[in-house]
Every structure is written in C-alpha cells, then in structure tokens.
Amino acid sequence: METPAPVPEPAPPEPASRSVIPLVIVAGIAVALVAVGILTLQVINRPGSAQDVAVDFVVAIYEGDAERACLLTGPQMREEQLDRFEAGDCTEFARDVEESGQVIERRADDVEVLEETVDGDRATVRVSAPSGTPGVWTSVDLVRVEGEWLVTDYSG
C-alpha cells in the first residue's frame, strides 16, 4: 500500500483587511444628516414675506410679546422704543415693558391679511384685528433691510 502524500501546511493567514463598505455607509449617513441639517436651518431662518412679518408683529403686540415685536422692527423704530424705555436691547426692552404694566395679553391666533401693497423694498400690509371684528384692522408699514422685512410703523 502506498503511503499518502503529505498534506501541505495551510498558508499563513493574511493580515486582517477591513472592508471599507461600513466606513462608506457611515460617511454617507453623516453627509446626509449634515445636508438635512443645513436645509432645515435655511427653511427656519429664511426671511419671511412682508405678510408673514406683519402678521407676526400684530400677533406679538396683541399677545404681549414685546421682545418679539421689538425684534421685528426696523432700526429707527427699534431705537425709538429702546430709548423710550432706556433699554439696551430687545430683551431688556421686553422686561421693562412688562414691569411698566403696559402689557395686555390677548389671544391673537386668527389674524388674517386683508391687503398687501409692495413697491420694491417697501410694503404696507393691512391685517384684520385678532378678534375678527368686521371693519377693524391694523396697517403695518415695512421696509426690506438686507433681505429681511422689518416694521417701520403701524396704526389701527
């Protein structure tokens, strides 16, 4: 009987090579999350239309949100209000207005745009009173400053 030939030794294992597929997947997910984050910030921080700003301003006034109303005003109107209350910024202004007792908080969730006139970087928006009382409205004048609509005057 013949003796079987010796079985060769197995080849030494190659150094472990890691697959790049998991790394590519993780990198792809990270890029996608960053893109979604950037798009979300752009949507949230996009300048509102003159109508949006006018409605936000009137709602802020009616609901007693002095800081929000202050932030929606143009430079000249803001300075006049800050000077009137000897405030350094809108946060301080809001605190001073609240302490003065001039804040009257009302619900204002039903404000509607009645009319809008835009002429270049200037606009006038007429909005309904929050109570929805027929014939009662507020006129808001706005100017576009660095692409952002800001309130310059209001009456009604």
Check whether 91 has a pLDDT greater than 80: yes
Q: Does domain 50-155 have CATH number 3.10.450.50?
A: yes
Amino acid at 107: R
Kind and range of the H or E element at 95? helix 90-100
Distances (CA, A) of 37 to 30, 46, 153: 11, 14, 35
Check whether 50 has a pLDDT greater than 60: yes
9-46 pLDDT, tens digit per residue, is: 877 766 666 677 777 787 778 777 776 666 555 545 54
Check whether 146 has a pLDDT greater than 80: yes
Residue 148 is predicted with a pLDDT of 95
Check whether 88 has a pLDDT greater than 90: yes
Residue 70 is predicted with a pLDDT of 96
Dump the DSSP string for 21-87: HHHHHHHHHHHHHHHHHHHHHHHHHSPPPHHHHHHHHHHHHHHT-HHHHHHTB-HHHHHHHHHHTT-
What tokens appear for 149 in the block?
């609509």
Check whether 98 has a pLDDT greater than 80: yes
CB atoms within 10 A of CB 134: 7
- For the chain, give the percent of residues with pLDDT over 90: 46
Check whether 82 has a pLDDT greater than 70: yes
**Domain spans in the chain, listed from the N-terminal domain onward:** 50-155
Kind and range of the H or E element at 12? none
51-71 pLDDT, tens digit per residue, is: 999 999 999 988 889 999 999
Instruction: For residues 139-151, give the mean pLDDT.
Output: 96
